[in-house]
Amino acid sequence: MSVRHRDDDPLPLEGLDQFLESLEVEESASRHTLRAYRTDLCHFGRFLGAWLEGVDSDYRGSGSQERRRPDDPGQRPRPVDPREIDPAAVRAWLARMHSAGLTPVTMGRKLAAVRSFCAWLCRMGVLETNPARAVHNPKTPQSLPRFLSEAEVESLLAAPDDSELGRRDRAVLELLYATGLRASELTGLNASDLDFAERLVKVLGKGRKERRVPFGGAAERALRDYLPVREAWVTRPEPAFFLTPAGKRLSNDGLRKLLAQRLREAAIDKRATPHAIRHSFATHLLNAGADLRAIQELLGHASLGTTQRYTHVSTAQLKAIYDKSHPRA
């Protein structure tokens, strides 16, 4: 994926193009990550340019189009020199985001993009210190990951019928629950990534890190039932394993719609995303006594701290069981 911008769409910060290219080449950032960084840093760059010139704008820099060079009213604003970034500007941007009602999680993500850009500028010798490090993320409320109970998962997996689409959907859901894959990992699977003899799937996760995840007999049966459907849908050479009836790779959006439809059919009154199935996978393993380190490996988490979020889910379940079962609860 090229991150170069169109000539008629200049980036508002000097060096931003090179930073995005470094993320792609040196850190193997995903397409989604590159797009998010570009959007967030363009918002910050446009806001910064307006803020430096005393033009009122929102966090996206709306209003910055009023900035014009006095000797050439038709010229676009020049990209901002990143040496103009200071903690006061970052705090002002955070205040604009807060006024716009952005969630603490979203504000934290956008601040992380600015910190990362400034850290790269320090490595390049443009900045001596990172001005964004002095600005702390807004506090985020602690929430438990959304997940389905084991009974709800069973109902969900039984929802698809034996039509071609139903067999595809059952294979998707069985593999999703059997492996705990991220949505992008599942839709990114190619036919060559599945090893039926060993019941293993090769996954390319975040940071282009490869791991192998086992799947069970129920998932294998559903996948084998889907194979003739896939063969019937392929109209031209296509490496993707999960396809649409038109023979194209199943998209993340298609996966979310598939799950929402099957949840309705299973009469499960919960808003559950593909990530909720990933949470369910981890929660059910943990409740059955699986080792947290093993779950970390299966999920592809870089940090055990991320995996430890599921211990809160397990504790909540234990408390519910205690309250229901103990005579003096």
Characterize 11-44 residue by residue with b for buried, 16 or more Cβ atoms within 10 angstroms of its Cβ, and e for exposed.
bbbbbbbebbebbbeeeebbeebbebbbebbbbb
Residue 173 confidence (pLDDT):
97
Catalytic residue among 133, 275, 309, 312: 275
* DSSP single-letter state for residue 73: T
Give me the mean pLDDT over the 275-301 stretch.
86
129 and 32 fall within a common domain? yes
315 and 207 fall within a common domain? yes
Catalytic residue among 301, 309, 324, 328: 301
Structural domain containing residue 72:
16-134
- Rounded to two decimals, the pTM is 0.61
263 and 152 in contact (C-beta within 8 Å)? Answer: no
Element (H, E) at 99: helix 87-99
Domain total for the chain?
2
279 is catalytic: no
161 and 225 fall within a common domain? yes
Which residues in the chain belong to E strands, given as ranges? 194-195, 200-204, 210-214
260 and 286 fall within a common domain? yes
pLDDT digits (tens, 9 = 90+) for 27-78: 778 788 899 999 999 999 999 999 999 998 999 998 644 444 444 545 556 8
Q: Is the pLDDT of residue 148 over 50?
A: yes
275 is catalytic: yes
Quote the percentage of the chain above a pLDDT of 70: 85
pLDDT digits (tens, 9 = 90+) for 93-120: 999 999 999 999 899 999 999 999 999 9
Query: What CATH number does residue 101 fall under?
Result: 1.10.150.130
Which pLDDT band, with edges at 50, 70 and 90, does 8 fall under?
very low
Residue 299: CB atoms within 10 A of its CB come to 22
Which pLDDT band, with edges at 50, 70 and 90, does 315 fall under?
low
Residue 147 confidence (pLDDT):
84
127 and 157 fall within a common domain? no
Q: For residue 8, is it within any domain? A: no
240 and 168 fall within a common domain? yes
157 and 266 fall within a common domain? yes
206 is catalytic: yes
Catalytic residue among 59, 177, 226, 310: 310
Residue 153 confidence (pLDDT):
95
Catalytic residue among 262, 278, 279, 284: 278
155 and 259 fall within a common domain? yes
Catalytic residue among 182, 230, 279, 284: 182
114 and 159 fall within a common domain? no
pLDDT digits (tens, 9 = 90+) for 216-250: 999 999 999 999 999 999 988 899 999 999 999 99
Residue 6 confidence (pLDDT):
42
278 is catalytic: yes
264 is catalytic: no
Least confident of 141-150, 274-283, 296-305: 141-150
Give me the mean pLDDT over the 181-188 stretch.
93
310 is catalytic: yes
185 and 73 fall within a common domain? no
Instruction: Tell me the DSSP string of 258-284.
Output: HHHHHHHHTT--S---HHHHHHHHHHH
Opening angle at CA 43, ends 142 and 27, nearest 5? 70
94 and 239 fall within a common domain? no
Catalytic residue among 109, 146, 202, 206: 206
